[in-house]
Amino acid sequence: AKHDGRNTFRFFAQEMQEHSLRSLQLSIALKEALTNDQFHLVYQPQMSLSNNSMVGAEALLRWEHPEWGTVSPAEFIPLAEQSGLIVQIGEWVIQQVAQQQKSWLERGLPEVIIAVNLSALQFHQPDLVETITSLVRKAGVVPENIEVELTEAVALKDPEVAGTTIDALSRAGFKVSIDDFGTGYSSMSYLKKFAVHKLKIDQSFIKDIVTDIDDQAIVTAIIQMAHSLHKTTIAEGVETQEQLDFLRKKGCEEMQGYWYSRPLVTEQFEQFLKSHELQ
Ligand code: C2E
Ligand code: CA
Ligand code: CA
Ligand code: CA
């Protein structure tokens, strides 16, 4: 009702203030998160739809704050991006993954490709390829076992520049996948030019795929397009057998989601590695 207008506004303004206060507090705390050892990685398995074997896993960042508990990456990654801290954090992630892979190697666990998320700012660092290649090699592992995920939004913003960096990453041995695919209205023409290995179909299209005919049409088109360009597709956020059945029927190669496994802490993921067949 009209007479609620002012109160609604006051409520909104107060909410905004609380929101920015928390953002400010988080931004300050983030600066010490790395040195205070508050970050860790969890690993979510990715599986092949043709033979039920594991094809890799995505490393996802977790922040445990002593007072606030677990802070979601959806909340703190944008803040780290704003302050520039994401570059250091992103390098920590790659180093952590490489050291973890080295430790698995030494302990006789199977080799597994681990995907890491690259933020926009990190992706645009002029020395990105040299920096991460040297981090990986210093840990005693190879870029071939690391996949970098770049969102479609980042890849689209300046396709020429992105294409050059993607090719450099690929030449250095890294695998490259496009994250949140389908949300950025990519055209086939630029995709064809990129040395991209895999398209990750955004989970927003998977959510209602069993009932929503528009989502069905989009996902079907993405899979067909990917195949005509000789790229692999992986569906994100798969939670049910029905979603899986649809994707398999359409020829999607891989999936990642709660249906198969939630993201796992290192010890759980190691158990998983020991007991599951790898492709
Ligand atoms: P993303 O890269 O799209 O990662 C997938 C997100 O979906 C993860 O959320 C994952 O836990 C969640 N997920 C996986 N399977 C399912 C499912 O079946 N159902 C549902 N509802 N969700 C599922 P998470 O871990 O909270 O990460 C959120 C976002 O934060 C990521 O989205 C990514 O954009 C960002 N992020 C996480 N770790 C890093 C990192 O190390 N570096 C950077 N730059 N960004 C990161
Ligand atoms: Ca991702
Ligand atoms: Ca994604
Ligand atoms: Ca996302």
Q: From the CB of 257, is ligand 1 less than 6 Å away?
A: yes
Amino acid (1-letter code) at residue 219? V
Residue nearest (by alpha carbon) to ligand 1 atom 44: 119
Q: Which mutation among 39, 93, 117, 119 tests ligand 1's pocket best, with the greatest number of atoms within 8 A of CB? A: 117
Q: From the CB of 45, is ligand 1 less than 6 Å away?
A: no
Q: Which two three-digit tokens encode residue 239? A: 């939670």
Residues of the chain with pLDDT under 70: 1-18, 185-189
- What confidence score (pLDDT) does residue 137 get? 98
- What confidence score (pLDDT) does residue 144 get? 98
How far apart are the C-alpha atoms of 122 and 130, rounded to whole Å? 12
Dihedral sign from CA coordinates of 275, 277, 266, 74: negative
Q: For the purposes of burial, counting CB atoms within 10 Å of the CB of 10, is it exposed (0-12), middle (13-18) or buried (19 or more)? A: exposed
Q: From the CB of 72, is ligand 1 less than 6 Å away?
A: yes
C-alpha R_g of the chain: 20
Alpha carbon of 4 to ligand 1 centroid (Å): 38
SS3 209: coil
How far apart are the C-alpha atoms of 206 and 261, rounded to whole Å? 16
Q: Which two three-digit tokens encode residue 29? A: 């705390």
Alpha carbon of 266 to ligand 2 centroid (Å): 18
- What confidence score (pLDDT) does residue 113 get? 98
- What confidence score (pLDDT) does residue 2 get? 47
Instruction: Give start and end residues of each alpha helix (H) in 115-240.
Output: 120-123, 128-138, 152-157, 159-171, 188-193, 203-206, 213-228
Atom of ligand 1 nearest to the CA of 41: 41
Instruction: Give the CA diameter of the chain.
Output: 69
ipTM of the complex: 0.97
Q: From the CB of 135, is ligand 1 less than 6 Å away?
A: no
- What confidence score (pLDDT) does residue 10 get? 64
- What confidence score (pLDDT) does residue 174 get? 98
Using CA atoms, how far residue 206 sits from 156, 191, 232, 236, in Å, is: 22, 22, 17, 7
Predicted TM-score (pTM) of this structure = 0.93
- What confidence score (pLDDT) does residue 1 get? 45
Q: From the CB of 237, is ligand 1 less than 6 Å away?
A: yes
Q: From the CB of 1, is ligand 1 less than 6 Å away?
A: no
Alpha carbon of 1 to ligand 3 centroid (Å): 39
Residue nearest (by alpha carbon) to ligand 1 atom 29: 74
Buried b / exposed e over 90-102, threshold 16 CB at 10 Å, is bbbbbebbbbbbe
Closest-approaching ligand to the CA atom of 74:
1
pLDDT tens digits for 85-95? 999 999 999 99
Residue nearest (by alpha carbon) to ligand 1 atom 41: 61
Transcribe 50-78 into DSSP letters.
TT--EEEEEEEEEEEETTTEEEPHHHHHH
Q: Given its phi and psi angles, is residue 5 left (phi above 0), alpha (psi -120 to 50 degrees) or beta? A: alpha
Number of other CB atoms surrounding residue 244 within 10 Å: 21
Pairing relationship of beta strands 69-71 and 39-48 according to DSSP bridges? unpaired
Atom of ligand 1 nearest to the CA of 202: 3
